[in-house]
C-alpha cells in the first residue's frame, strides 16, 4: 500500500502535545496516513524522551510507543520567532493537537482563536485534565489521578485487595483514541461545510466512559459493584485457572458448553447433572461451590492437555502468557505486529506496528519514532521555504 492510497493521505497534523494522550491521538492519525509534524522543545524534547528504557541517543521505549509515523521539529515556543514558526506551520496544516496547561496555548499565542486568525478552517484539538468551562479547569490532568477519581481503580483487581491501577495508562490511551475519533469526524464535517472545529477533550470525561457497564451497574445498584478479579461477574465458569504447569483462560459461555466442559474436559458428569449448576444463573448463585470443584480438577491436568480438550469441545480458551512471550510469539510474528528498524546508536530496534488493516493489508510504519529534531531542517525548508542561512540564524538564536 503506497502513501497516496492511505486513508488520510494529504492531511497534515501539527502535534504540539507531549507525554501520552495527545501524542497517541497524533500517532493514530499518522498511522492512518496523515503527515504528522511533532513540535518539541529544542533541548529536552517531549518529557517521555526521559521515561522508560533508553533507545539510542534521544529515544526511549515510552516515547517510541506513541510517536511512530511522525517527524520531529524543535521549536522554542517561548520566543517570538518560534511562535511565528508554529503559526506559519499552522497555515499549512489541517489539524492541530495540543495539551498545554489551562491557558498555556493562549499565553504562547497559539490558542484556538489565535490559530483561527491565520487558518480559519483549522481543526484544533485541545486535551485537558478536566472540562475547560468547569470549576476544575485549571487542574493538571494525570492518568493515575483520574483512574482514582473516576472509580476505575475500584473495579480493578481482586476483591480481597485494595483498589488497583491498570497496568498501562488506560485513561491517557483512551483519551488519545477518543480524540482521534473526534478529529476524524471534524475532518469529515469540514469536507461538507468547509468549516473548522475546536475539539475539547478531558481525561476525566474519558476515564468515566471507560467504566462502561460497570458504571451503569453502580448507578442502578446505588453502590460499587463487586470486584471479581480475573473472573466474570455474570458468567461462570469464565476466567483464569491454574493448570498443573501454568495458567490458562477458560470461557464457558452457555449451558451446552458447560455440559461439554464437565463431560469431555474434566470428566465430571456429576457436575453436569447437578441442578445447582444447570443454568448460568444458577451457576452464578453457586459460584463458590462450583469453582472449588473446577479449580481442583483443572489443577490436576497439564495446560497443553486442557487447551487441546477444550478446543476439541468447542470451548474458547487460551494460555496466559507474559508480555515478552506474547510479543515474541509466532502469532504476533504472523500478524506482522512488530516492525524492526536500524538506529545509528542502538542498532536494530523493534517498535509496534499500526493495528489497522485496510483491504487485507496492515497499514505500514512509514517512519520510525524520530530522534529529537531529525526533521527540523527539511520541514522548515520544504514547508516554509527557509534557506540554510535563515535556519542557521534560528539555530544560533536558540529558536530551533
User: What does the longest C-alpha to C-alpha distance in the chain come to?
Assistant: 85
Catalytic residues: 172
Give the pLDDT score at 131: 96
- The CB-side HSE value for 310 (13 A sphere, CA atoms) comes to 22
> What pLDDT score does 358 carry?
96
How far apart are alpha carbons 392 and 398 in whole angstroms? 10
pLDDT tens for 54-95 read 999 999 999 999 999 999 999 999 999 999 999 999 999 999
Residue 126: Cβ-neighbour burial (10 angstroms; 0-12, 13-18, 19+): buried
pLDDT tens sequence across 248-259: 999 999 999 999
Q: What's the mean pLDDT in 310-332?
A: 97
pLDDT of residue 371: 97
- As given in the structure block, the three cell numbers for residue 240 are 483464569
Residue 2 pLDDT > 80:
no
Cell of 112: 484556538
Output helix, strand, coil percentages for the chain, rounded to the nearest 5.
45, 15, 40
* DSSP reduced 3-state for 39: strand
Interval 117-168: pLDDT, tens: 999 999 999 999 999 999 999 999 999 999 999 999 999 999 999 999 999 9
Question: For 271-279, what is the mean pLDDT?
Answer: 97
Mean pLDDT within 198-222: 97
pLDDT band at 4 (very low <50, low <70, confident <90, very high): confident
CB 253 within 8 A of CB 279: no
DSSP character string of 140-193: ---HHHHHHHTTGGGGSS-TTS-----SS-HHHHHHHHHHHHHHHHHHHHHHHH
Q: What pLDDT does 3 receive?
A: 78
Report the C-alpha gap between 19 and 14 in whole angstroms. 15
If you average pLDDT over every residue of the chain, what do you get?
97
Question: Quick one: DSSP state of residue 261?
Answer: I
Question: Residue 45, class by beta-carbon neighbours within 10 Å (0-12 exposed, 13-18 middle, 19+ buried)?
Answer: buried
233 has pLDDT over 90: no
Q: Position of cell 515556543?
A: 77
**CA–CA separation, 198 and 292 (whole Å):** 55
Gap between the Cα atoms of 251 and 268, Å rounded: 17
Amino acid at each position: 500500500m503506497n502513501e497516496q492510497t492511505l486513508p488520510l493521505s494529504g492531511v497534515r497534523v501539527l502535534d504540539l502535545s507531549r507525554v501520552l494522550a495527545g501524542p497517541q491521538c497524533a500517532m493514530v492519525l499518522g498511522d492512518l496516513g496523515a503527515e504528522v509534524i511533532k513540535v518539541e522543545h529544542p533541548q529536552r524534547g517531549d518529557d517521555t524522551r526521559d521515561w522508560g528504557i533508553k533507545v539510542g541517543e534521544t529515544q526511549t521505549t515510552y516515547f517510541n510507543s506513541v510517536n511512530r509515523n511522525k517527524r520531529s521539529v524543535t521549536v522554542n515556543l517561548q520566543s517570538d520567532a518560534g511562535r511565528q514558526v508554529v503559526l506559519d506551520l499552522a497555515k499549512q496544516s489541517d489539524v492541530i493537537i495540543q495539551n498545554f496547561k489551562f491557558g498555556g496555548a493562549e499565553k504562547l499565542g497559539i490558542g484556538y482563536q489565535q490559530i483561527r486568525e491565520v487558518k480559519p478552517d483549522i481543526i484544533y484539538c485541545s486535551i485537558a485534565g478536566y472540562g475547560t468551562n468547569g470549576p476544575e479547569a485549571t487542574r493538571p490532568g494525570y492518568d493515575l489521578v483520574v483512574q482514582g477519581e473516576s472509580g476505575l481503580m475500584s473495579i480493578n483487581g481482586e476483591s480481597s485487595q485494595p483498589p488497583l491501577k491498570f497496568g498501562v495508562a488506560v485513561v491517557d490511551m483512551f483519551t488519545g483514541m477518543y480524540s482521534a475519533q473526534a478529529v476524524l469526524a471534524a475532518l469529515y464535517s469540514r469536507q461538507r461545510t468547509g468549516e473548522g472545529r475546536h475539539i475539547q477533550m478531558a481525561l476525566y470525561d474519558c476515564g468515566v466512559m471507560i467504566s462502561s457497564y460497570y458504571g451503569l451497574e453502580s448507578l442502578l445498584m446505588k453502590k460499587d459493584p463487586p470486584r471479581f478479579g480475573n473472573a466474570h461477574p455474570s458468567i461462570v465458569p469464565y476466567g483464569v485457572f491454574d493448570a498443573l504447569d501454568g495458567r490458562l483462560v477458560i470461557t464457558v459461555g452457555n449451558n451446552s458448553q458447560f455440559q461439554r466442559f464437565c463431560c469431555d474436559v474434566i470428566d465430571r458428569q456429576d457436575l453436569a447433572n447437578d441442578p445447582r449448576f444447570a443454568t448460568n444463573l444458577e451457576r452464578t448463585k453457586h459460584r463458590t461451590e462450583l469453582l472449588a470443584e473446577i479449580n481442583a480438577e483443572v489443577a490436576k491436568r497439564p495446560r497443553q492437555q486442557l487447551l487441546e480438550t477444550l478446543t476439541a469441545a468447542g470451548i474458547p480458551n487460551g494460555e496466559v502468557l507474559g508480555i515478552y512471550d506474547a510479543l515474541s510469539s509466532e502469532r504476533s510474528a504472523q500478524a506482522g505486529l512488530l516492525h524492526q528498524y536500524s538506529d545509528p546508536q542502538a542498532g536494530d530496534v523493534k517498535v509496534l506496528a499500526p493495528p489497522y488493516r485496510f483491504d487485507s493489508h496492515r497499514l505500514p510504519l512509514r517512519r520510525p519514532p524520530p530522534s529529537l529534531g531529525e526533521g527540523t531542517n527539511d520541514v522548515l525548508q520544504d514547508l516554509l521555504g527557509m534557506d540554510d542561512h535563515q535556519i542557521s540564524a534560528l539555530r544560533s538564536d536558540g529558536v530551533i
